[in-house]
């Protein structure tokens, strides 16, 4: 007779997974991973930590709710019998199952002008999937309308959730707090019954964390993650915008503390370089759902077509040898101040007839590029922008 794994929901963040000591140890091994470049972490160097993140706690027997599918797959492959108790599924098909229903809901309840806002099918599919799964990470590139998707989800759940539950939209920067508020105001400009400034409470440095009667809070992660865990008990909906940029401590602390939050989502253009492991993101926010691809948006004329030409600069053997033992940071500084490289970039304008945008990641490097272009007296109109 196969051994039994008992799975129940402890709260909206954790499952309770009960099994024998040996099976619990196996599950613990299955749900653990090392952070990228763990060997360079100070605690690992001091032998205070092995670099592993353990998603299954063998002592408390808890696992993130979003990992239920992975857990069931593991139990099946290992030949263990699973006994489910309570509402552990991540699908909620009783709410909305078709895009036609969403279209009708948007027109009748949200009153967004169809002339001003173009509803794209992939956006409606993303909204449908998010609602049907209760939680999900929506993977969609820049210019795909992520803010509109988030707006629709927030407006819908504002009606679906009990009045005592609030909604939280987390963004990585203060500028995005203002941008989201502005976008929401634009989307609802023809809706006399809903005003973004009256419904939403923005939180940045120095702003009151208590939203009062306003049920929708738009905040940076940094403004909230150190607050007491009880603060997050008020939320029934959380959306983590650009979740791949969120530091592990912020993402886990906020979403772990939201033990009453049944509906939680993440939006991002990429998970390739996520600071937190995919399993952590999926465990806290749900399965990854691809909304659209950049190529599809180009083919559908939502984005301009692009052509990429790579230019490779070759340096002398003596320079390569001199930099061989330098750190990555020292190498970057050397290249950014390389006179021949700066002159080459300044002269690239001779081969480009259209307007040209040069991007840099350091103000000092930007100043060097600007001075090189200015010295070469090209182009005729030159602007240096940084913040």
We report the CATH number of the domain holding residue 35 as 3.30.780.20
Residues 276, 349: one domain?
Answer: no
Q: Report strand pairing: 235-241 vs 166-171.
A: parallel
Measured CA to CA, the distance from residue 35 to residue 160 in angstroms comes to 38
In order of 74, 117, 164, the CA distances from 114 in angstroms are 46, 5, 32
Domain that holds residue 346: 317-375
pLDDT by residue (tens digit) across 144-174? 888 889 998 999 899 889 999 999 999 988 9
Is 180 a member of any domain?
yes
Q: What pLDDT does 383 receive? A: 84
Q: Is the pLDDT of residue 18 over 90?
A: yes
Residue 167 lies in a domain: yes
* 53 belongs to a structural domain: yes
115 has pLDDT over 60: no
What CA–CA distance (Å, rounded) separates 204 from 211? 12
Torsion of CA 336, 338, 343, 345, to 10 degrees: -30
Beta strand pairing status for 263-268 and 135-139?
parallel
**Token pair belonging to 277:** 């492991």
As to burial, measured by CB atoms within 10 angstroms (0-12 exposed, 13-18 middle, 19+ buried), residue 155 is buried
Question: Please, are residues 204 and 174 in contact by the beta-carbon 8 Å criterion?
Answer: yes
- Cβ atoms of 15 and 74 within 8 Å: the answer is no
**Residue 104 pLDDT exceeds 80:** no
In this predicted structure, the answer to whether residue 273 has a pLDDT above a threshold of 90 is: no
Domain boundary among 270, 299, 328: 299
pTM equals 0.80
pLDDT at 92: 67
* Same-domain pairing of 59 and 136: no
Of the residues 57, 85, 113, the one at which a domain ends: 85
Q: Does residue 50 sit in the same domain as residue 120?
A: no
162-213: per-residue pLDDT in tens?
Answer: 999 999 999 988 999 999 999 898 888 777 788 899 999 999 877 889 999 9
Structural domain total, the chain: 3
Last residue of a domain, one of 268, 299, 330: 299
């Amino acid at each position: 007779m196969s051994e039994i794994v008992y799975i129940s929901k402890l709260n909206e963040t954790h499952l309770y997974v009960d099994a024998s000591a040996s099976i619990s140890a196996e599950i613990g091994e299955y749900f653990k991973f090392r952070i990228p470049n763990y060997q360079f972490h100070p605690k690992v160097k001091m032998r205070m930590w092995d670099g592993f993140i353990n998603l299954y706690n063998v002592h408390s027997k808890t696992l993130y709710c979003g990992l239920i599918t992975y857990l069931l797959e593991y139990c099946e492959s290992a030949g263990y019998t699973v006994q489910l108790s309570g509402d552990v599924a991540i699908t909620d098909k009783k709410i909305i199952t078709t895009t036609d229903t969403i279209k009708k809901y948007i027109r009748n309840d949200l009153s967004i002008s169809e002339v001003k806002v173009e509803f794209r099918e992939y956006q409606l599919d993303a909204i449908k999937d998010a609602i049907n799964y209760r939680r999900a990470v929506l993977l969609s590139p820049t210019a795909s309308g992520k803010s509109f998707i988030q707006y629709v989800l927030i407006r819908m759940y504002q009606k679906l959730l009990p009045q005592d539950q609030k909604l939280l939209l987390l963004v990585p920067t203060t500028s995005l707090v203002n941008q989201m508020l502005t976008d929401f105001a634009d989307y609802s400009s023809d809706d006399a019954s809903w005003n973004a400034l009256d419904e939403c409470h923005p939180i940045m440095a120095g702003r009151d964390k208590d939203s009062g009667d306003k049920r929708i809070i738009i905040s940076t992660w940094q403004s909230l993650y150190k607050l007491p865990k009880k603060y997050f008990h008020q939320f029934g909906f959380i959306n983590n915008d650009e979740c791949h940029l969120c530091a592990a401590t912020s993402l886990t602390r906020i979403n772990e503390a939201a033990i009453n939050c049944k509906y939680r989502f993440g939006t991002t253009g990429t998970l390739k370089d996520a600071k937190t492991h995919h399993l952590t993101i999926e465990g806290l926010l749900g399965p990854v759902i691809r909304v659209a691809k950049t190529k599809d948006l180009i083919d559908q004329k939502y984005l301009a077509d692009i052509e990429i030409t790579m230019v490779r600069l070759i340096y002398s053997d003596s320079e390569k040898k001199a930099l061989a033992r330098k750190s990555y940071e020292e190498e970057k500084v050397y290249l950014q101040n390389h006179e021949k490289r700066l002159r080459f970039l300044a002269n690239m304008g001779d081969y480009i007839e259209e307007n040209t945008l040069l991007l840099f990641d350091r103000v000092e490097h930007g100043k060097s590029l600007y001075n090189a272009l200015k010295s070469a007296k090209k182009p005729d109109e030159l602007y240096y922008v940084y913040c």
